[in-house]
Amino acid sequence: MFLRSDKLHEECAVFGASLKTPDAASLTYNGLIALQHRGQESAGIAVTEGNNILYHKNEGLVSEVFDKKTMERLSGSYNAVGHTRYSTKGSATHANVQPIVKEYLTGRIAVCLNGNITNIDKLHEKLAAVGVSFAASSHCDVIAALIAYHNVTLNCTEKSVVAAASELEGAFCLTVMGCDGKVIAVRDPNGYRPLCIGKSEKGIIFASETSALDTCGFELLRDVKPGEVVVAQNGEIVNSSVPLESETLGLCIFEYVYFARPDSVIDGLSVFKARYEMGRRLARECPTDADCVCGVPDSGLEAAMGYAFESGLPYVSGFNKNRYIGRSFIFPTQAERANAVRMKLNPVAFNVEGKRIVVCDDSIVRGTTGGKTIDLLRKAGAKEVHLRISSPPFIHSCSYGTDVGDESTLVANHKTIDEIRELFNADTLAYISLEGLVDACSGCNLPFCLGCFNGEYGVKKN
Ligand code: SF4
């Protein structure tokens, strides 16, 4: 059985490469390694070989899915798309592992998706009505079929991608590769999920986060704009336009709170800086008498550093994290599941014993593990534990690519802050204000989706 921590999870990372050198597969592998935090259930790479598309994909981490032999089989190509997946829609079966490679009358396409399509049932019905059958149950399978469907009449990958993307509603970043040597990146018109473009003398790559560009030795050229379709061929951008429209605009602010790597820069703002500023803001909004500050690894660490800086309290390492356990991990027995937090996090007693400690964490979603974290600190000898959360109370559901279930499962939806404090056995509990969070993220080029906090899923365009 999988045990998932009390955190939101993304629906994945996408990657694409159009190169002047024949090493697209190995470059994509490196990119996916850098994006592994966005999904650990499966991984895949597709490459072009002449007029054909070859691929390899499977369940597991990137390093488990690909070995020397599979990489050799994919080597020699100039174009590739790749994916790491966390399944929230469509089960975690092999058929749903991406890239989805679709065959149609005149060719093949490979498609990767990060996001969630809110009108998927309607699109599924439309395609089923014209005789399209589906091998998988994922949103990406429907998108791939929709592109193939349009290609029958348009006979052009680029036009088919635009036609299909124009029918999609919800959050989506896509990388698509046809047999014609084009690699296409698409970002939904609301801009919910991040997608950037990297450039080097080798060519062009597309990735969910800039950390993948750095790892591959590419420089950030720019972010893909909301609603934009960018086409790369032979290592150059050959076309870009903004054909997709929506009434609202807003990047998911949780990218800064939790999802993205701190060394990434999204839409002009460093994720590290945003988290650090959240901590500073928390220290001003919710000060407390304490001896030191620590963070819950990983995404609570930068906020803890900011809190320490602003409050003047020393920053200490409160926990050691076992880095060899992924965000989703398997425990066969109830006893092992109960001990799961302990296996992942172990308090550093030397830093905690006898201390009044401030602990920064990024969010409380269902409230299933926060109490266990505080319990660990108390058992390690902490005198007082003051919990500080760098996002406001999470009270609404999300349809845009995270695995939040029904609102009734969100602890802040039906408990007061003091009831949650009591549930967690914390001495004090305080959340950053919504205004404070948005302020900490100033510098981002886009407005934000704040739906899970205030029910507003983006801001209306003028
Ligand atoms: S509702 Fe929350 S988690 Fe979902 S996209 Fe908006 S900010 Fe992100």
Atom of ligand 1 nearest to the CA of 399: 4
**End-to-end CA gap in the chain:** 48
* Domain boundaries along the sequence of the chain: 2-246, 265-454
What spacing in Å lies between the alpha carbon of 151 and ligand 1's midpoint?
33
2-246 and 265-454: same fold? no
- Please tell me if the CB atom of residue 394 comes closer than 6 angstroms to any atom of ligand 1: no
pLDDT in tens, 402-449: 777 788 889 999 999 999 999 999 999 999 999 999 999 999 999 999
Q: What does the chain come to in residues?
A: 462
Atom of ligand 1 nearest to the CA of 453: 2
Laid out side by side, the sheet with 236-241 consists of 100-104, 107-117, 170-178, 182-187, 229-233, 236-241
Residue 386 has pLDDT above 50, yes or no: yes
**157 contact partners, CB below 8 Å, separation of at least 6:** 109, 147, 151, 176, 178, 180, 182, 184
pLDDT at residue 46 in the model = 98
DSSP state of 354: T
Measured CA to CA, the distance from residue 442 to residue 182 in angstroms comes to 36
The mean predicted confidence, pLDDT, of the chain is 92
Helices 120-129 and 139-154: crossing angle in degrees, nearest 10, is 50
- Please tell me if the CB atom of residue 251 comes closer than 6 angstroms to any atom of ligand 1: no
CA atoms within 13 A on the CB side of 435: 2
Q: What is the pTM of this model?
A: 0.94
- Please tell me if the CB atom of residue 253 comes closer than 6 angstroms to any atom of ligand 1: yes
Residue 329 has pLDDT above 70, yes or no: no
What spacing in Å lies between the alpha carbon of 68 and ligand 1's midpoint?
39
pLDDT at residue 51 in the model = 87
What spacing in Å lies between the alpha carbon of 310 and ligand 1's midpoint?
28
Higher pLDDT, 461 or 320: 320
CATH fold for the domain made of 265-454:
Rossmann fold (3.40.50)
By most ligand atoms within 8 Å of CB, the mutation choice from 252, 390, 456 for ligand 1 is 252
Atom of ligand 1 nearest to the CA of 396: 1
What spacing in Å lies between the alpha carbon of 135 and ligand 1's midpoint?
30
pLDDT in tens, 340-373: 777 788 999 999 999 999 999 999 988 888 888 9
**Lookup result for tokens 């680029």:** 158
The CATH superfamily assigned to 2-246 is: Aminohydrolase, N-terminal nucleophile (Ntn) domain (3.60.20.10)
Mark whether 12 is an active-site residue.
yes
Atom of ligand 1 nearest to the CA of 192: 5
DSSP E strand stretches across 39-189: 42-49, 52-59, 79-85, 100-104, 107-117, 170-178, 182-187
SS3 38: helix
What spacing in Å lies between the alpha carbon of 451 and ligand 1's midpoint?
5
Helix, strand, coil proportions of the chain in percent (round to 5)? 35, 30, 35
